Each structure stands twice: as structure tokens, then as C-alpha cells.
């Protein structure tokens, strides 16, 4: 047995005790060290610290996150010249003929205020395919060699659920929205440097360094949208036996059969990995103007986003996941998309589905009626407070004041009775849960009346996230001994203190995850 001691134990509801007794990976008792000490019993003490239930992220792309640690990053590029320099340097480093993929492109922060086109990339790398992925993961920019490799030309029609941007003369610009990027990602897959199991293990240790003990892992059976050069599921299964944290996998599958095969492979795998369910998409992103909206965007009134949900196909996938004992998670950003997903889930519930097995990923912009419907149905809203922090500069101009008031409506959802789960959607946003908790509390000044109190914000990344991935985050006897040790009391500390705090230790199944030099998680 191991007695873990700090100054205090904190749950979303209260503070009580200062020690957790661990036996064979599970909590044997929670209370005061003076009562739980025993002669000869091993102790691990953290003076001045606070123990909380292991922090979790309900929605994270582990292979995409690993790619963000290994690929060129564009988020801080101030202009097109800087992008060109980053791509040029990558071309110098990589073997001739290999594909260049760079991540976290952010047109909102560029001096030009728009996405680059294939012409810029053709000048920098005319002889090899290049793909830049916008940080939302829903928009990419390809150069001419990449388009040619994918067989995309001027006469290629827009695919279902996606579009190719064209200039005034009808020429392709290289900007690919939603499913339009899929052929390019598939075409460059054999040429892109792979994301290996070792890369994933490095990334998972970096996640543990942020305080996370487990994640809801969004994993594609193919290469996914991060140009990972191989099946995301294959890479994760290879890494799973060495994972330091728990991986609850939500599979992005092409068909019910593909989903069933993936679930079987996950069930047979060793390590801290389990099948949680299916992940689907109903629309895109606010940043990329591809979220499905009832009305046009305030800054582009003629555009209402892209619908990606085929209700019949989605129902088949959902029913297969539920039959496999899994859950159903569907991405929905815009108010039109959220309404359509709730329609589908209401039908599943009428057919006997447990609402606890249904999740809407992001639930970003909602109508008042759908906020109430979330609560009435009992469907989980899987939310990402970090979105607010990165969108402060443009969210209002994208939506206008009326819709802004019902965007990321955390408090309204909670008051309606909807279960909430917190996540980051990393690599869309940094994977750090403590700044996520802070953003849920102060909302970075955006619609502060929708903020959560300290207990509810902590619950997002403990009990709420755990519930959404089928885990147990209660600090109670019999629960897994998954603990995060913090230098501050998350209930008493202010949001700015949370943003700068660094976890002291993480325990998964009673074993402390060793901190390894060089394995760090990026912040911005």
C-alpha cells in the first residue's frame, strides 16, 4: 500500500482530508494522514500541494497532437513571408521528393488577413507536394504538386461535404475546405514522414506533464486530417502498451464494418486503452467559415457553412456503436448543425439509447430551444473552453452580438440540466487542462454571464470528462487511483493563477508517471 499525502484533497464539491491510500492501483481510503498512517507503510508526500482526481480531456486527437510536436508549426507566423520561410526550411531538412506538411496555420493572425494560396507554396517548393493545415483542422492549403498528385484539377467538382476555393476566373486557389482535403491527404500519405509509436509515446508523456491522467482519444482508421502518413489507429495501437495515461478511443470510421473491426482490435490490445465509441462530423469550424449556421456569418452573410452529416449513414454508425457497447460522439459547431445532431440523437433515444451514451462535440453556437433540448434529453455537451481564449479577436465579428450571447453557453447548458465534459480538441488548442478550467471561469471576458463557478469548472476536467469517456473520477474507495497533484487549490485560486500553475505530479493506477526531459507540451 502507498499513502499519498498533500496539504488538502479537493473535489468539485468540497475540500476534505489530506491523504489517499492506494492499494493495487485503486483507492483504498481517503481521509487524514494521521488516521491512515501505519507502521512500515510507504508514503509519498507533497508539502503545500493539493490532490485532485486525475485531470482528463474528453476530446483530444493524440496523433494530431504528436504531429504538432514533430511537424513545422505556423501558428506564430506573422505573414506570408514567414510561412514561406518555414516551408523552405522544412524542404531543406527533408529528403528530396518527400511531402511537406505544416500545421496550425492561422489566417486571422496573419498580416494579410487571409489564407495563402497555392501560388505562394509553388514558389517555395515547386517540385514537391506541400499541405498546410489550418489550426482548426477543417481547412487546408495545397500546392500544385499536391493537387496534381491527388488528381484534382480545374474541372474537379466539389465533393459532398466539402469545397475547393476558386478565384474570380474559376481557377483553384489551393484552399481545401472540409472533405475536399481528403484526397490530398490520402495522396501525400506515402510521401509524408510518419508519426511513429515513439513519437506518440513522447506526446503522451507530454500530456501527462500537463496533469492529464487520461483522454478521450479521437482516432481515425485512416490517416486523418493531420497528414500523419499512416493509419492513426495503427499507430495508437502500437504505442498503447507503453502509454503512461489512459486512452479511451472514439473511432472516426468509414463504415459500420470499419467501426466494428476497430473496436475488436482495440479490445484485443494491451495497455491502457479501451473502445469508447464512434466519432462523426456534422459540420466544420467557425474560424474556417464552414460551421453550419441557420443564418449567414456576420462577416460573410452569403455563407452558411457546410453540412457534412448524412443522417441515414450517421444513424447506421451510431446504432452499430451502441450495439458494440460504445457511445456516439458527433462534432457540431454551428447552430444548424447542433439542431440536426440533436434531431438524430432524439431519434436514437426514442429507439432505446441511453442519453448518457450520446455526446455532442463542441456544441458551440446554440439556439435557446436547443439549449433547453440538451437538458431535456440528457445528452452530454463536450465543450472546449480553450476555444474562447484563441477566438477573442474575431469571434464577435464572425457571429454578431445576438449569436455571440449563445456561443459556448456553458452556464445555460448546466442550468438546463445538460451533462458537461471538458476538453481541448488538441492540437486545435493547447492540451493544458488548467488554462481550460480558467477559461471556463472567466471566459477571457467574452459573455461573462456564461461562466462557470470554480467547482463546476473543475468538474469539467475531472468527473465530467471521466463520465463522458466511461471512466471513474470519484475520489472514493474502489475507484482507480488516478490523481493529479497541483501546487495550488483549484477552488481557491483565481483564473490567472490556474493559467500559470504547473502540476507537480501525476499518478495513473497508483503509479507516478515519470517526468522525462524534453517531453513537454506546447503552450500556444
Residue 454 falls inside a structural domain: no
Q: Which long-range contacts (CB under 8 A, 24 or more apart) does 320-325 make?
A: 320/256, 320/259, 320/260, 320/278, 321/259, 321/277, 321/278, 322/348, 322/353, 322/357, 324/259, 324/260, 324/263, 324/275, 325/275
Residue 172 falls inside a structural domain: yes
pTM value is: 0.95
Residue 402 falls inside a structural domain: no
Assign residue 173 the CATH number of its domain. Answer: 3.10.310.70
Residue 523 has a pLDDT of: 56
Give the residue ranges of the chain where pLDDT is below 50. Answer: 524
Which residues constitute the domain of residue 86?
A: 68-191
| Number of Cβ atoms within 10 Å of the Cβ of 503 | 21
Residue 144 falls inside a structural domain: yes
Residue 367 falls inside a structural domain: no
Q: What distance in Å separates the CA atoms of residue 360 and residue 357, rounded to the nearest whole number?
A: 10
Residue 222 has a pLDDT of: 85
Residue 194 has a pLDDT of: 87
Residue 511 falls inside a structural domain: no
Which residues, other chains included, contact 215 with Cβ-Cβ below 8 Å and sequence gap of 6+?
56, 57, 58, 60, 62, 207, 245, 246, 247, 248, 469
- Total domains, the chain: 1
Residue 427 falls inside a structural domain: no
Residue 86 falls inside a structural domain: yes
Under 8 Å between Cβ of 244 and 215? no
Residue 304 has a pLDDT of: 98
Cα atoms in the Cβ-side hemisphere of radius 13 Å centred on 425: 24
Residue 517 has a pLDDT of: 53
Say if residue 167 is exposed, middle or buried (CB neighbours under 10 Å; 0-12, 13-18, 19+): exposed
Amino acid at each position: 500500500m502507498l499513502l499519498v499525502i498533500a496539504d488538502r484533497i479537493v473535489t468539485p464539491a468540497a475540500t476534505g482530508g489530506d491523504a489517499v491510500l492506494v492499494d493495487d492501483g485503486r483507492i483504498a481510503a481517503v481521509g487524514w494522514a494521521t488516521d491512515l498512517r501505519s507502521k512500515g507503510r510507504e508514503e509519498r508526500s507533497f508539502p503545500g500541494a493539493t490532490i485532485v482526481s486525475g485531470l482528463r480531456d474528453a476530446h483530444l486527437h493524440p496523433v494530431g497532437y504528436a504531429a504538432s510536436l514533430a511537424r513545422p508549426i505556423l501558428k506564430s507566423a506573422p505573414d506570408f513571408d514567414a510561412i514561406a520561410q518555414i516551408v523552405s526550411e522544412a524542404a531543406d531538412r527533408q529528403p528530396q521528393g518527400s511531402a511537406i506538411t505544416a500545421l496550425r496555420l492561422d489566417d486571422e493572425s496573419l498580416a494579410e488577413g487571409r489564407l495563402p494560396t497555392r501560388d505562394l507554396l509553388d514558389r517555395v517548393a515547386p517540385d514537391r507536394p506541400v499541405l498546410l493545415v489550418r489550426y482548426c483542422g477543417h481547412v487546408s492549403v495545397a500546392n500544385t504538386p499536391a493537387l496534381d498528385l491527388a488528381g484534382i484539377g480545374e474541372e474537379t467538382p466539389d465533393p459532398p461535404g466539402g469545397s475547393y476555393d476558386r478565384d474570380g476566373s474559376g481557377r483553384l486557389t489551393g484552399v481545401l475546405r472540409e472533405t475536399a482535403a481528403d484526397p490530398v491527404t490520402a495522396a501525400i500519405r506515402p510521401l509524408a514522414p510518419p508519426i511513429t509509436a515513439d513519437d506518440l509515446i513522447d506526446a503522451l508523456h507530454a500530456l501527462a506533464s500537463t496533469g492529464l491522467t487520461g483522454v478521450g482519444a479521437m482516432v481515425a482508421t485512416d490517416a486523418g486530417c493531420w497528414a500523419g502518413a499512416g493509419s492513426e489507429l495503427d499507430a495508437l495501437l502500437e504505442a498503447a502498451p507503453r502509454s503512461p495515461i489512459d486512452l479511451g478511443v472514439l473511432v472516426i470510421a468509414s463504415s459500420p464494418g470499419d467501426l466494428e473491426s476497430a473496436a475488436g482490435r482495440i479490445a484485443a490490445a494491451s495497455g491502457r486503452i479501451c473502445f469508447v465509441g464512434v466519432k462523426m462530423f456534422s459540420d466544420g469550424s467557425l474560424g474556417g467559415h464552414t460551421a453550419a449556421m441557420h443564418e449567414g456569418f456576420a462577416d460573410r452573410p452569403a455563407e452558411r457553412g457546410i453540412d457534412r452529416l448524412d443522417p441515414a449513414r450517421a444513424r447506421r454508425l451510431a446504432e452499430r456503436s451502441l450495439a458494440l457497447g460504445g457511445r456516439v460522439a458527433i462534432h457540431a459547431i454551428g447552430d444548424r448543425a447542433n439542431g440536426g445532431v440533436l434531431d438524430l440523437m432524439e431519434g436514437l433515444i426514442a429507439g432505446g439509447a441511453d442519453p448518457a451514451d450520446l455526446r455532442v462535440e463542441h456544441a458551440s453556437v446554440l439556439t435557446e430551444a436547443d439549449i433547453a433540448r440538451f437538458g431535456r434529453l440528457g445528452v452530454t455537451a463536450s465543450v472546449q473552453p480553450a476555444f474562447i481564449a484563441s477566438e477573442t479577436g474575431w469571434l464577435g465579428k464572425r457571429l454578431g452580438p445576438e449569436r455571440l450571447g449563445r456561443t459556448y453557453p456553458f452556464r445555460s447548458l448546466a442550468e438546463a440540466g445538460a451533462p458537461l465534459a471538458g476538453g481541448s480538441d488538441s492540437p486545435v488548442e493547447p492540451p493544458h487542462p488548467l488554462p481550460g478550467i480558467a477559461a471556463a471561469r472567466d471566459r477571457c471576458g467574452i459573455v461573462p454571464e456564461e461562466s462557470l463557478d470554480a467547482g463546476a469548472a473543475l468538474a469539467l476536467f475531472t468527473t465530467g470528462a471521466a463520465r463522458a469517456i466511461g471512466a471513474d473520477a470519484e475520489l472514493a474507495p474502489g475507484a482507480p487511483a488516478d490523481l493529479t497533484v497541483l501546487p495550488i487549490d483549484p477552488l481557491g485560486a483565481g483564473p490567472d493563477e490556474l493559467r500559470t500553475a504547473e502540476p507537480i505530479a501525476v499518478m495513473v493506477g497508483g503509479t507516478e508517471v515519470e517526468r522525462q526531459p524534453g517531453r513537454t507540451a506546447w503552450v500556444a
